[in-house]
Structure 1
Amino acid sequence: MDKRIIGLISIIITFFLIVTVTTQIDNNSSASIDYFEGLHFSIGKGVNTQDIYCYYAEADDSNYLFLPAYASDIQVNISHLDCAYFTYQGTVYQQGDLFIDKRGKTNELIFYDKDGTILQQGNLKVYQSANIPCIDISTASGSMSHIYENKENKEEGMIKVLSETGDLLRYDNFSALHGRGNTSWESDKKGFELRFDNPVDMLGMKPANRFILLSNYYDSTYLRNKIGMDLGTSLLMGSTPQSQFVDLYINGNYAGLYQIMERIGLESNQTDVKSDYLLEIDYLERTVDKNYILLENKQPIVIKEWNNTLSDKELKQIESKISNSHQGAYGFNLFILVY
């Protein structure tokens, strides 16, 4: 066979091999892209704009979109350039379109390229809160990895507080966001402390430099702490911290229903504690290197903060008060008659 013909055949075979390999690489690249991660929805305009991403739940292999109470005009944003549009509930959506959804129903969402080839498909379920404000936090790094590594790690950033009707109540810098909690810090839904350089008014609470974002992870009702605090306020207990339920978003991701509250402390601009010390019930294994009182039932009471160093006599007085209160609460029999 002529060498030129053999050479031509070799070139053609090489060309088809290159095309085949390139196509496989392109297909594998598309398969490795999660187009749901590049899909987000914008609500509001100007400084009020809030960008929200989908949340993937492995348990039911579905994506969720959690919208704040005020959400109405919801704009579609598609980050991946090779995705031309998607279909959802029988409607075609492109970049910038207004998103219309029947809340609470699971529907299939399908991503397409410009030629109509399916890139990815999956379930999307949309939920929306009602009658509750929201807090939108953006960390300087755009990530929470540093904070999740250690609850003492801090990030600064920006905060937007929006009412249930979408009014911008606060748009400000915060000096630090860090983790808080003992057992709760080990949970999937973590609590945080928010710090400002100067006292700020937060949802009608007394101006303060520090606020707690309570996750209430171990209370499926989310009500125990709130009812306890509201009851304390009703009973005119002046040291009761004020609080408010909020939807919390961090870097565009829905973090869940939180309870933002005043931080109990002896510093200025915080809850007014009319004593020289704060006490906390804790576990014995956590009392290492801490000042604490051990009750007769072996329950440790940790002395967390005090204005001045407490003498042995003062420690004994505190122990006596706590022991008397404990005995008063558990020192009688309660008979319940069931008819």
Structure 2
Amino acid sequence: MSIKTLIKTSVVLLTAGMCLYSTGTSAFAVGDISFLRAADTIGAGNGITAANDEKAQKYADIPVYSFIAVDISPDADTSIDYSEWWYSEWEDCHYLSLPSTADRTHLRIDCFADGNITLDGEMIKTGEYTDILSKADEFQIEVNGEDCGKLKVMQSDRGCIFIDTEVTTFEQLDANRFLTMSGEAVMIDADGNTVYNGDIEKISAHGNSSWDYSKKKPYNIKLPQKADLFGMGKAKKWGLISNYLDHSMLRNKLTEEMCKAAGMEYTMDSVFIDLYTNGSYRGTYQLSEKVQIQKNRVNITDLEEETEELNASELKNIRGRPWVRTVLMITLKTAINATLYQMTRRISQAVILCSSCSGTDTV
């Protein structure tokens, strides 16, 4: 072994030791940051905090039992492109979240209430198409003349994923991480092009601490066949990262981009999308490649069989085999890449934490 190789190996081992030592230090190094979003303030200075008392949540229960926008991706051949409004305890109002593909001049509204629903005085007829949602982003809701608060309409500018399940619901999976379920999905990019339209073989929980401490749960999905999602290459397995504990939602993506800029091989790719499950808007997620040995992912030799053969052989029988050196070099290269990735991720976390000291995080 040359001196140059010894020096490189020493540097890698020293770096790995530093990374292992630093794992004992919390990524949240500045102040006491709670894992509970309900304890945090959104937009400090704007006076928007969680409405915990009954008086503040005046419009939590109104005589409207459902309000659903249907056919919100008109160019997609699907019936699962719909979105139901949701109540915000932070602002004591209702929100309707729409994807970039929604034509607000021609949306069907399905609603059910104890009387006639009006938005800014204009009656909504259930099951009929209307252009009312194109006239403003905020509406006054009334049922038979009774004040029912505000409706705020938000429309995204990114791609979206609609998932529909029949037997098991996402609420059941959120309550029991050991459940798995299947369903169907439609994935559409920001320009309205259908990226995927078909079944999902398996939906399961993703992560450990990111699952336990998050109200917004992350998921794994497995497709029946390999598919190229949003230009990231064909594969079956994908991750839906919630980034709940990262108020900026940028740490993972920033780390990936830094690794690509540094020329690191096998850096996973990802895109931000809006997730809708059974008509419920779940928020912005990061659709990410899974780390796995595969042509479009980590394109290396699968060492499982070689490792089993090595473990089953006597040391004297494997000395001198030409492929042993190759196996060891691939293993070392993979370890170096993993170490550099962890270092880059911690640097990106430090950058974001430092920048947060000069301003207020936005959720």
Alignment match, 2:177: 151
2:232 is aligned to 205
Give, as a single letter, the amino acid of the residue that structure 2 aligns with 1:124.
L
AA in 1 matched with 2:95? Y
Residue 106 (structure 2) pairs with residue 78 (structure 1): no
Please give the alpha-carbon distance, in whole angstroms, between the structure 1 residues aligned to 2:201 and 2:135.
37
Residues 161-190 of structure 1, C-alpha deviations (whole Å, 9 max, x = no match): 112122222111010111111111121111
CA contact (8 A) 2:211 2:218 kept: yes
User: Structure 1 residue 192 and structure 2 residue 192: aligned?
Assistant: no
Over 3 Å counting, the alpha-carbon distance change for 1:308 and 1:63 in structure 2 is farther
Alignment partners' CA distance in 1, 2:135 and 2:256: 33
Matched, 1:60 2:91: yes
Secondary structure, aligned partner of 1:97: strand
Contact 1:154 1:177 survives alignment (8 Å): yes
1:101 aligns with 2:144: no
**Of the candidates 144, 152, 163, which is equivalent to residue 125 of structure 1?**
152
Corresponding residue pairs, total: 254
Q: Please give the alpha-carbon distance, in whole angstroms, between the structure 1 residues aligned to 2:299 and 2:241.
A: 20
Q: Give the helix-richer structure, 1 or 2.
A: 2
Give unpaired runs (5+ residues) of structure 2. 1-59, 316-327, 344-363
SS of 1:233's partner is helix
Which of 139, 144, 161 is residue 135 of structure 1 equivalent to?
161
Checking the alignment, whether the CA contact within 8 Å between 1:36 and 1:54 is kept in structure 2 is: no
Shift of 1:48: 4.3
1:36 and 1:170 mapped to 2: Cα distance? 34
Give 1 or 2 for the bigger CA radius of gyration. 1
TM-score (norm 1): 0.65
Matched, 1:40 2:68: yes
Gaps of 5+ in 1: 1-31, 278-304, 330-339
Aligned to 2:256: 229
Q: Structure 1's 134 and 237: CA in aligned 2 closer, same or farther, altered over 3 A? A: same
1:218 CA displacement = 1.6
1:176 partnered with 2:202: yes
CA distance in 1, matches of 2:121, 2:112: 22
Alpha-carbon contact 2:65-2:111 (below 8 Å) kept:
no
Distance change (3 Å), C-alpha of 1:256 and 1:224? same
SS at match of 1:38: strand
Tell me: CA distance 1:125–1:233, structure 2 relative to 1, closer, same or farther (3 Å): same
SS of residue paired to 1:69: coil
1:271 aligns with 2:271: no
SS in 1 for 2:174: helix
Post-superposition offset of 1:38: 1.4
In the other structure, the counterpart of 2:285 is 258
Rounded to whole Å, the distance in 2 between the matches of 1:191 and 1:274 is 28
TM-score of the superposition, structure 2-length normalised?
Answer: 0.61
- Provide the C-alpha distance between the structure 2 equivalents of 1:99 and 1:189, rounded to a whole number of angstroms: 32
- 197-206 vs 142-151, which deviates more? 142-151
SS at 2:87's partner residue? strand
- Relative to structure 1, is the Cα distance of residues 269 and 109 closer, same or farther in structure 2, using a 3 angstrom cutoff? farther
1:217 Cα shift? 1.0
Higher relative contact order (CA 8 A, sep 6+): 2
- Kindly indicate whether the alpha-carbon contact (under 8 Å) linking 1:195 and 1:211 is maintained by their aligned counterparts in 2: yes
Does the aligned pair in 1 maintain the 2:64–2:112 contact within 8 Å? no
Matches within 5 A, 1:303-314: 308=307
Partner of 1:173: helix, strand, or coil? strand
- Structure 1 residue 39: Cα displacement: 1.1
